[in-house]
Amino acid sequence: MAAARLSRGHVVSDPAPSPAEVREWLDQVPDPEIPAISLVDLGIIRDIAWQGDTLAVTVTPTYSGCPATAVINMEIEACLRAHGVERIALKRQLSPPWTTDWLSEKGRARLEAYGIAPPQPAGGPDRCPRCGSAHVQKVSQFGSTPCKAQWRCTDCLEPFDYFKCI
Amino acid sequence: MDRDAALFEFLLRQGDTTLILAQRIGEWCGHAPVLEEDIALANTALDLIGQTQLWLGLAGEVEGKGRSADDLAYLRDAWDFRNLLMAERPNRDFGHTMMRQFLYDAWAHPMLTRLAASSEPRVAEIAAKAVKETAYHLERSADIVVGLGDGTDESHARMQDALDRLWPYAGEVFVADDADEVLAQAGIAPHPEELRAPWTETIRRVMAEATLTIPDSDFAHTGGRTGRHTEDLGHILSTMQWLQRAYPGATW
């Protein structure tokens, strides 16, 4: 997949990778704040398309002030460059706004295994990600990152992060 | 006033209010009464800073003079700021800070809901993003106003004092000027007066639950939206802007 460097000094790319292939690469890039899930799992990669010889990747922010946004863009670019893509355009798309409905099933399962309760339409976690008890209570509407809230299990008594549903 | 001039004015009003309010509540970082509230206030400030980047970024685009959101935030003086006076009021105690947040959130939520249907798509997409964050802020600030208002004698007295002090600043958002008329005509933003009913309904419901008495006066200080500020704004700007003023163009 990497561009082949010829001895005469010019670069010849292999056939351009398909958007599906690029999506697989990005599925290997961890979210900088919640490394258990990938950027693809998070649902923020909205589009991947070739525009001439430029690969355009459209990214939507999770929260408008999420400080990870700049790091995410750098990591996407680094990933694509490592795979030999030289012309890259990163686009920001606000609309439609990101929603936790776009988290992948794989991402939700990985969040829970990592100790973060995945978002639920009811607005709170359905069970403790550590012991599985349904006896949970809210500690605070905000947690360690904009996308999380703090909850606690009243059976195993462990505090845990809940990925807010928006 | 033409459409673009009114739109620029509007975007400054939106972005400057979120910026100054974020700066104020950011002052609590490391000082809030409990850790959870400290984190919650910092996260709310972060959402507001994110919204500021979007509003002021678009303001620079509409103005067309090459000014970025950072240029607008760091390189203007107090008389160029268009934030609501309420946003620049000093924090005082935690209850006062949360009362101000509630009075703002109760206005911002219906405002952003309407702006999400703006005839200007760039405004609509920012509002659609911001309204989700603001719904969450409103839920929290209303909960705390109720919890402290209907709490101990001490917390009740402090919340009533906060409401009495802030009330004369709450009505500024409903006083329309030429820019508001142009925006309403063009379908870009709701007429300020339209928001009074949904705002009043939320305030009445929450204050009743919080056992707090709404002051019997509709007097409103005005001036923030046209650049006439209280002394407090200058002090905020001197803290916020000194680095860019002392070392122009500094980056990290």
Question: Chain A: nearest CA to B216, how far in angstroms?
Answer: 33
Structure tokens at B36: 């959870």
Q: In chain A, whose CA is at the least distance from the CA of B34?
A: A140
Q: Show me where the domains of chain B are located.
A: 3-214+224-246
Grade residue A67 by pLDDT with cuts at 50, 70 and 90: confident
Residue B35: helix, strand or coil by DSSP? Answer: helix
Tell if the CB–CB gap between A97 and B132 is shorter than 8 Å. yes
Chain A positions touching B26 (Cβ under 8 A) are none
Q: Compute the count of residue pairs across chains A and B with CB atoms less than 8 Å apart.
A: 65
> What's the CA gap between B17 and B60, in Å, rounded?
16
CA A35 to chain centre: 9
How much is the mean pLDDT over chain B? 97
What span, in angstroms and rounded, lies between the C-alpha atoms of A26 and A60?
14
Instruction: Note whether B116 and B131 are within 8 A (CB).
Output: yes
Alpha-carbon distance B220 to nearest alpha carbon in chain A (angstroms) = 31
Task: Give per-residue burial for B134-151: e unless 16+ CB within 10 Å, then b.
Answer: bebbbebbbebbbebbeb
Average confidence (pLDDT) over A36-51: 96
pLDDT at A14: 65
Does the pLDDT of residue A2 top 70, yes or no? no
Mark out chain B residues that contact chain A at CB-CB < 8 A.
Answer: 36-37, 39-40, 43-44, 46-51, 53-54, 121, 124-126, 128-130, 132-133, 136, 139-140
Q: How far apart are CA B5 and CA B14, in angstroms?
A: 14
**pLDDT bracket for residue B251 (50, 70, 90):** confident
- Each residue of A115-138: pLDDT tens digit? 999 999 888 999 999 999 999 999
* Span B69-96, pLDDT tens digits: 999 999 999 999 999 999 999 999 999 9
| CB-based burial, B2-29: b 16+ in 10 Å, e otherwise | eeeebbbbbbbbbbbbbbbbbbbbbebe
pLDDT of residue A5: 42
User: What CATH number labels B3-214+224-246?
Assistant: 1.20.1260.10
* Ranges in chain A annotated CATH 3.30.300.130: 4-98
Query: Quick check: A60 and A98 in contact, CB under 8 A?
Result: yes
Contact list in B for residue A142 (CB cut-off 8 A) is 36, 39-40, 43-44, 140
Nearest to B144 by CA among B22, B25, B19: B25
Which tens digits make up the pLDDT trace of B108-143?
A: 999 999 999 999 999 999 999 999 999 999 999 999
Question: CA B199 to CA A125: how far, in whole Å?
Answer: 31
- Its sign, for the CA torsion B37, B22, B179, B116, is negative
Confidence of residue A145 (pLDDT cuts 50, 70, 90): confident
Mutate to test the interface with A, among B14, B38, B46 (most CBs of A within 10 A): B46
Task: Give A96's pLDDT tier (boundaries 50, 70, 90).
Answer: very high
Beta bridge partners of A4: A12
How many residues make up chain B in this entry?
252
Q: What are phi and psi of A11, to 5 degrees?
A: -105, 130
> Across the interface, which of B50, B124, B126 has its CB nearest the CB of A66?
B50
- pTM, entire model: 0.92
Give me the residue label for tokens 């009811």.
A122
Alpha-carbon distance A104 to nearest alpha carbon in chain B (angstroms):
21
Q: What is the pLDDT of residue A13?
A: 54
Instruction: Please report which confidence band the pLDDT of residue A66 belongs to, taking 50, 70 and 90 as the band edges.
Output: confident
- Minimal C-alpha gap between A139 and chain B (Å): 8
Q: Is the complex ipTM higher than 0.90?
A: no
Give the CATH fold of the A4-98 domain.
GMP Synthetase; Chain A, domain 3 (3.30.300)
Buried b (16+ CB within 10 A) or exposed e, A58-82: ebbbbbbbbebbeebeebbeebbee
